[in-house]
A = this chain, B = another copy of it.
Amino acid sequence: MSELAIHPSPPGDRQEILELTRATHVFTRAEEDTVLELFDAYRDNPASGYLFLSARKAGQLVGFACWGETALTEGAVDLYWLCTSPDAQRRGIGRALFERVQQLALERGGRLIVIWTSATGSYAAAARFYERMGCAMMSRIPDFYKPGDDLLVYVKYFDGRSCAHAELNQKGSG
C-alpha cells in the first residue's frame, strides 16, 4: 500500500481538485465555482489568506483541504473545504488532512479551527467527521443557507478544552 503524501497544492492541481470536488456529488455548482475561486486566489495572490493542501497516493489526488487564518483574529483558522475522493473514503485521508491543517495552524500561532457548514443531506457525514476530529458544534443558525438548511459552526480549540454545545448554551444565555 503506497504512502499518503500531503503537500501545499501546486498550481497544476487546479483541474484535479475541481474533478475531485465534482466526484463527491456533495456540492452544488456554485460551491464548485467557489472552490475554483479560492484556488485561483491562493495561486495568484499569496496575501489572499487561502491555503490549499493536496493529498496524493500512488501519484493520484485523493483529497484536498482549503484553509486560512481568519481575518481580524489572532489565532483563529477557517477550514473552508476538506474533501476526500469517494473511492478513497475511510482510509484516514480526511483525518490526515485535518491533522496537517491543525499542525500548520499551530506552527503559525493558531488557537482554534472553525468550520462553517450546512446541516443538511450529504453534509451529515461531514458533521460526524468533524466530531470525530474533536470539534464541537458551537452554533446553529436556522435557515441560514436557505429555508430548512441551517448553518452549523464546529470549533476545535487547540488547548484541548472540551466545548459541548450544551455548556456553551448555558454560558450564552447567561
Binding site for B on A (CB under 8 A): 28, 30-31, 34, 70-76, 111-112, 114, 137-147, 153, 155, 157, 163, 165-166, 168-169, 171-173
- Whether A169 touches B169, Cβ cut-off 8 Å, given contacts A138-B141, A144-B73, A146-B74, is yes
- Whether A139 touches B142, Cβ cut-off 8 Å, given contacts A30-B72, A72-B31, A111-B147, is no
Q: Is the interface of A mostly helix, strand, loop or mixed?
A: mixed
Given A70-B144, A111-B143, A139-B139, 20 more pairs with CB closer than 8 A: A34-B71, A72-B145, A74-B145, A74-B146, A75-B146, A137-B172, A138-B139, A139-B140, A139-B153, A139-B172, A140-B168, A140-B171, A141-B155, A142-B163, A142-B168, A142-B171, A165-B172, A169-B169, A169-B172, A169-B173
- A45, chain B: closest CB distance, angstroms: 12
Which B residue's beta carbon lies closest to that of A140?
B172
Which B residue's beta carbon lies closest to that of A145?
B73
Give the residue of B34, B75, B138 whose beta carbon is less than 8 angstroms from that of A72: B34
- A159, chain B: closest CB distance, angstroms: 9
